[in-house]
Amino acid sequence: MALSLTAAAAMLLTACGSDNNAGTSSSASGSSSSSADCGGKASLTAEGSTAQQNAVAEFNKVWQQVCSGKNLSYNPTGSGAGREQFIAKQVDFAGSDSALKDDQVAAAAARCGGNPAWNLPLVFGPVAMAYNVEGVDKLVVNGDVLAKIFQGQITKWNDPAIAALNSGTTLPDTAITPVYRSDSSGTTDNVQKYLAAAAPQTWTKGAGSEFQGGAGEGAQKSSGVVQAVQATPGAIGYVEKGFAQQANLPMAQIDNGGGAVELTDETTKKAIDAAKFAAEGNDLALDLNSIYGTKEAGSYPLVLATYEIVCSKGYDADTAAAVKSFLTVAANDGQANLGPAGYVPLPDAFKERLLTSIDAIA
């Protein structure tokens, strides 16, 4: 059974103490990681999610400030590539918008010397439905409409199903061009999981890191989606909020069944409050169905958690120390300036449990 973030944190606080819990309580309660251990090797490598690349850049900057001489080299090649490179021992950890797939768990454990790999979310980020429709400054969609657009069943912007959600707005007789990620992408996986939860009768394509909808045109990475939407009248594409903001692209409101919801920090935080862990323990994969299927008023449903996939054990001592140092700083000081980059800082209840997991890396 999935555990709520608040309940999980309460369980940790009321459980019998351990060295790991004691070691994290002071870090979790404070806003600063000035006491972070700066041991281990000077340079780390990671690869993967483009959705988290701006957050990782902020984390690295803060890590360098807290721990002089440290540096993370991050290659934003996409979540699928990141997981593959981690399993192949080419990088110290992976960035991924999806937890390890079932068929990757054993290979990841082998890479970690026979020890489980853990999925540790460091930041939450809403996914925007960015669009390019001339004369339409406000656009409302819902899960059913989006499913039909990305499956090629709705092809014009003045389709009656879209018009019904946009009373008072004149929609043009313009062809719709859905833009999807052509590379293996955790963002794609999350969007397809959202469509399956929000429109289960309509979205019949399943989920996964490869786009299954069969309509539109593909673009490489988040930056490619932004460029394609900008260049294509009538386009709509899914991309992380920060990328849409940087490009000044309008973002559609999503009607989750409880009314149209604008993508803001407040509406995203309301959705994140409903997030649940998939299981107990230090692997913090999330069960996001409660977010994707929400009908709560004012709750923006299309939110992804971006993970760092790490070895629970199996690193050499210098690498383990550096990974723990980076993650501790990222979970503390690194959260402060994520808002302007389009992310939502970690909820306090989740941060407690995350720091406990980080401290348990050996």
Helices (H) and strands (E) in the chain, counts: 14, 14
What DSSP designation does 100 have? P
Residues sharing a CB contact under 8 Å with residue 248, sequence separation 6 or more, in sequence order: none
Query: Is residue 108 annotated as involved in ligand binding?
Result: no
Known binding residue 26? Answer is no
Q: Is 185 annotated as a binding residue?
A: yes
- Structure token pair of residue 285: 């994969």
**Residue 34 marked as a ligand binder:** no
Task: Determine what percent of the chain falls in helix, strand and coil, rounding each to the nearest 5.
Answer: 40, 20, 40
204 belongs to an annotated ligand binding site: no
Q: Which residues contact 48 (CB under 8 A, 6 or more apart)?
A: 75, 76, 77, 78, 79, 81, 82, 83, 85, 86, 94, 95, 96, 186, 309
| 186 annotated binding-site participant | yes
Picking from 341, 358, 347, 294, the residue whose alpha carbon sits closest to that of residue 58 is 341
- 188 marked as part of a ligand binding site: no
> Number of C-alpha atoms within 13 angstroms, CB side, residue 333?
19
CA distance 145 to 111: 42
Amino acid identity, position 155: T
Residue 209 in marked binding region: no
**268 vs 249: CA distance, rounded Å:** 18
Instruction: Compute the distance between CA of residue 202 and CA of residue 180 in angstroms, rounded to an integer.
Output: 18
DSSP single-letter state for residue 95: E
Across-strand partners of 141? 254
Q: Which residues are annotated as a binding site?
A: 49-51, 79, 97, 185-187
Q: Which residues are annotated as a binding site for phosphate?
A: 49-51, 79, 97, 185-187
